[in-house]
Amino acid sequence: MFSRQIPVDYGIILVEYKESKINTSIHMLFMNFDLSVLWLNKDLVVVDKVLAKRWVPIYLPKTRAQYVVELHSNQIANFSIGDQLLLLDLQ
């Protein structure tokens, strides 16, 4: 929130303790730009996705998720429901 933009190759992963619809909901209040949002289940499979528009009060996944991935808005077409993501530790 409150950032002016997000780099094209940047993203953030929000992690919940367990799968949930409510706990993985997001809001876009105070956002200055749209986001590609992916919801992943415990197995890192995309269970829902949306192009989240700024200032929308709430987005909920269609099914329970454990992870929320927020990316640049032009990344939405790169992912499909059913895709499994692989997270690497690149440190």
pLDDT digits (tens, 9 = 90+) for 24-33: 999 999 999 9
Instruction: Name the residue ranges covered by the structural domains of the chain.
Output: 11-78
pLDDT single digits (tens) 8-25: 998 999 999 999 999 999
CA distance 42 to 87: 13
Query: Which residue stretches of 1-91 are H helix?
Result: none
Q: What is the pTM of this model?
A: 0.92
